[in-house]
Structure 1
Amino acid sequence: MKKGLFIKKNRPVFFYFYLFLLITTGLLYIFSSNYFERESPVVTIENNNFWNLKKPIEFTISDNSGIKEYKIILETENFKKEIVHEKLFERKKSLKVVVKSPHILRSKIYKLNNKYINLIVKIRDISKWKIYGNQTVKTFTLKVDTKKPYINIIEHSYKISRGGSALVIFQASDENFQSIYIQINNGKKFKVEHFIDNYYISLIAWPISEKYFKATIVAKDKAGNISKVYIPLYLNNKFYKTSNINLSDKFLQNKIPKIANKLEKTDKCTNTINCFKYINEELRHINEKLIQNTASFKSYKFNFKPLNPLKNAAVLASFGGHRKFFYKGKLISESYHLGLDLASYAMSKIYLTNNGKVVFAKDNGIYGNTLIIAHGLGLYSLYAHCSSFNVSLYDKLYPRIIHL
């Protein structure tokens, strides 16, 4: 007698082994194949959480399998609007997305009581994981700031001379200050000192090598808003003496080798002329760069008195002299004399008339034993060719004898 319409047959063992192998292989393929990649897309923003609605916001989107589509939604307390939506037909694992504020929405944003907005980024990749792929949703909250920093000049020096300096005092304020400085026409920036609420002071200089001068106060906030105010100084294009100096064989043969023996890069000194050029140009530039870098530390307190380092000294060479060096009638080198040469009797004492801090105290090439003292407000005094000094680096100094 039949027990049913169908008769169950015993399947061979290899059938179940094959089925197990097929399932295992399929699972391994799903978990290892890029088509079923399981990592979610990544999005970053090139921003510091502020937006002035003028400068575009830049996003970086990346994914291991490739990006399928992305959306960016702008959300405020009053409305929500999709401002970007793109589907990619070409496989890209990384891309930059630049977002501009929609003109149609700016008026609504300006009227907001809460000056914060959200940029919601939604990304989906091309992976087949969970059929629809991996998705990332990330919200970036930005503070809207469209107001430029406020700058008002309170007082400034009447004029500035080429090779000289000037003082400026101004008021500046902003809720989200990022930086403030004074920039001159050659691109050099001068630090400003904050000495009382919203008030700043700075010493600026007209480089002697520049034929023209213009100084501008620049204030930037974190949203990228910039204010610039020109400082209306009277320009005195001061004349400096130009000296034509003839180099003798005796000077080149006696003095230059002595200096060259102290140099590390003796390969520059193939002959006395090349050696002189190296010392007067390249080495001078290296030494002056070291001085400029040393004289860039910020200091706050300042109270100046006239400098009088050597009493009853005679001036041998003035600041700013343009020196041209000739050998047998041919111009071989030139430089500016950026100091004041004072002469007194041997081992004269140097007197400090202002408080200060030692920021450099060692040999500096053509300057010899050099002492640089910071007095505050970006003012430094430099003493070169000292036989010795009885102070050390970072010593705090007060008006007294500093050299014996």
Structure 2
Amino acid sequence: MGNRKGKTGGSKIVIIVVMLALLAGAGYVYTAPEFEKEAPVIQSEKDIFWNRIDPLNIPVSDNVALSHYQISLGDGTKSVVVAEGDFKEGSKEKILLVNYPKNNIFDKKSNQLQAKVSVTDSSMWNFFRGNTAEKTIHIKVDHKRPNVNVLANSYSITQGGSALVVFQADDENLKTLYIEVGDQIFKAQPYKKEGYFAALIAWPFNKKEFNARIIAIDKANNKRTTDIPFYIKNKRYRVSWIKVKDKFIDGKITDLASSDPDYATISDKFDKLRAINETMRLKNE
């Protein structure tokens, strides 16, 4: 009887130890970073436009590390894997590039596609298979560039002056519209009726070259560039020398310098004059 009680007591202790070990193991699995349960994020809208020329950019990310991805493309009849692979170890963010298949597997007239994206992380959760995120992206194929027509513009523009242009821009999926002059951008404003725009364009006096272009880009990144036919007039500006008195620098120039922390500590009069007359003026243009 004594031995039987001892064996029973020993068995209970073993069971309790095993249960505690299992609970500890379960607690570790649910709390350890290696077993995190957060799925990767596929950062793309469900409905997008594509011109089939530029690669599709699909950003993906994970809170710990990405492991594997697969992207298939289909037109409702046929489907093909267009991208698949493993991420570099430790990668948390990546932009996946999707190119249109070159083997003409899809009907060229098809304007609707679906991209199925699957991304898995490196977690040991789900029996060491990781967390997987899946997303279906509906794609409208659009390869037509926006239409842009210059309706009216100033005959000429002079260096240091400005000119006006009125134009029409048409695209049902228009995304971006502006006037580009070198490294400067001018905003186009709606004019009179839908699809018509106007813009006032300036030619800085310190720029020798001038070329104005209308830039129109749609949601599929199809781009139209149209030159504005201005007659260009360069102008040579006379250089004048003006004598500045200390009274002017100590008065108006010092007041302007004091209003801006970038110039308030300048004590040298010549440096202060240059800072206000050149640096601040360019900054405020």
TM-score by length of 1: 0.60
Candidates 142, 152, 157, aligned match of 2:154 = 157
Provide structure 2 residue ranges, at least 5 long, that are not aligned to the other structure.
Answer: 1-6
Letter in 1 for 2:103: I
Q: Does 1:190 align with 2:186?
A: yes
In structure 2, what residue type is equivalent to 1:192? Answer: A
Deviation at 1:145, TM superposition (A): 1.5
- Do 2:75 and 2:106's aligned partners in 1 also have CA atoms closer than 8 Å? no
Partner SS, residue 72 of structure 1: strand
Deviation string, structure 1 residues 28-55 (Cα, Å, up to 9, x no partner): 2332334443332322238982222222
Q: Per residue, is there more helix in 1 or in 2?
A: 2
- Does 1:119 pair with 2:118? no
Query: Aligned equivalents of 2:88 and 2:161: distance in 1?
Result: 63
1:104–1:163 CA distance, 2 compared to 1 (3 A): same
SS at match of 1:268: coil
CA displacement at 1:25 relative to structure 2: 2.3
Which residue of 2 is the match for residue 316 of structure 1? none
Shift of 1:139: 1.1
Q: 1:130 to 1:241 in 2, by over 3 A?
A: closer
The equivalent residue for 2:211 is 214
2-structure distance, mates of 1:54, 1:121: 20
- Kept after mapping to 1: 8 A contact 2:61/2:94: yes
Kindly state the Cα deviation for residue 62 of structure 1 after the two structures are TM-superposed.
3.2
1:146 lines up with 2:143 in the alignment: yes
Counterpart AA for 1:267: T
Q: Deviations over 1:296-317 (max 9, x none)?
A: xxxxxxxxxxxxxxxxxxxxxx
1:218 Cα deviation after fit: 0.8
CA distance 1:11–1:65, shift in 2 (3 Å): farther
Higher RCO by CA contacts (8 Å cutoff, separation 6 or greater): 2
Paired position in structure 2 for 1:270: 268
| Residue 221 to residue 22, structure 1, CA distance change in 2 (3 Å) | same
Residues 279 and 83 (structure 1 numbering): CA distance in 2 closer, same or farther, change over 3 Å?
A: closer
Larger radius of gyration: 1
Considering only aligned residues, what root-mean-square deviation do their CA atoms show, in Å?
Answer: 2.7
% identical equivalent positions = 32
Q: Which runs of 5+ in 1 are unaligned?
A: 1-8, 293-404
Q: 1:189 to 1:47 in 2, by over 3 A?
A: farther
Equivalent in the alignment of 1:350: none
Aligned-partner SS, 1:29: helix
Please list the CA deviations of residues 4-61 of structure 1 after superposition, one character each: whole Å capped at 9, or x if unmatched. xxxxx63523222222222222322332334443332322238982222222222233
Aligned AA (2:265)? D
SS at match of 1:45: coil
Asked if the contact 2:82/2:101 (under 8 Å) is kept, the reply is: yes
Q: Partner of 1:242: helix, strand, or coil?
A: coil
Amino acid at match of 1:149: P
Does the 8 Å CA contact 2:39/2:132 hold for their aligned counterparts? yes
Is the 1:269–1:278 Cα contact (8 Å) retained in structure 2?
Answer: no
Partner residue of 1:173 out of 170, 174, 180? 170
Distance 1:279 1:92 in 2: 49
- 8 A Cα contact 2:45 2:137, kept in partner: no
Check the 8 A contact 2:55/2:97 in 1, yes or no.
yes
Change in Cα spacing, 1:161 to 1:119, as seen in structure 2 (3 Å) is same
- Is the 2:65–2:89 Cα contact (8 Å) retained in structure 1? no
